[in-house]
């Protein structure tokens, strides 16, 4: 069974191949997925990645940046770091993502249409501390 981690890894490798071809340099992805999504696990994975002295790190944060001490340490070392699938709450941080609240609103509107505007629904939040999951979830709550 394919997982989201598999999709992210495949996408990163496909982009690395494309960039290698276009730029004429060897772009290598060292993909580190934690066994479970948690702040301690992500801090540990980021510290391990930073210890390899990479040219840059891309991360999908599982929590607010103030909980991810490794990100601050990596930035202090001068290693470029980019967030993906996440809003960037700090000036100077690069983030690639979407309008997560709009995604939640679109999902809720489509679900309402599918059930004919009546009935009970369950809204899955995802990982509770992940900022993107929180934004999508909160957009689906009734006012």
pLDDT more than 70, % of the chain: 96
CA distance 127 to 66: 17
**Reported CATH class of domain 4-96:** alpha beta
Q: What is the pLDDT of residues 16-37, one digit of tens each?
A: 999 999 999 999 999 887 777 7
Q: What is the pLDDT of residues 37-46, one digit of tens each?
A: 788 999 999 9
The confidence score (pLDDT) of residue 86 equals 79
109, with CB counted inside 10 A (0-12, 13-18, 19+), is: exposed
The confidence score (pLDDT) of residue 143 equals 52
78, with CB counted inside 10 A (0-12, 13-18, 19+), is: exposed
The confidence score (pLDDT) of residue 122 equals 84
**Domain assignments of the chain as residue spans, ordered by start:** 4-96, 100-139
- pTM over 0.75, yes/no: no
Q: How many CB atoms lie within 10 A of CB 60?
A: 18
């Amino acid at each position: 069974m394919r997982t989201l981690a598999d999709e992210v890894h495949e996408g990163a490798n496909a982009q690395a191949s494309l960039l290698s071809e276009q730029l004429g340099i060897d772009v290598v992805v060292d993909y580190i997925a934690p066994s479970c999504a948690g702040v301690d696990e992500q801090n540990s994975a980021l510290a391990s990645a930073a210890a390899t002295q990479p040219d840059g790190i891309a991360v999908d944060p599982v929590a607010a940046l103030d909980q991810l001490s490794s990100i601050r340490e990596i930035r202090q070392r001068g290693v470029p770091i980019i967030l993906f699938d996440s809003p960037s709450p700090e000036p100077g941080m690069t983030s690639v993502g979407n309008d997560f609240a709009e995604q939640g609103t679109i999902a809720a509107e489509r679900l309402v249409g599918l059930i004919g505007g009546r009935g009970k629904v369950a809204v899955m939040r995802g990982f509770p501390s992940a900022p993107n999951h929180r934004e999508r979830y909160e957009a689906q709550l009734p006012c």
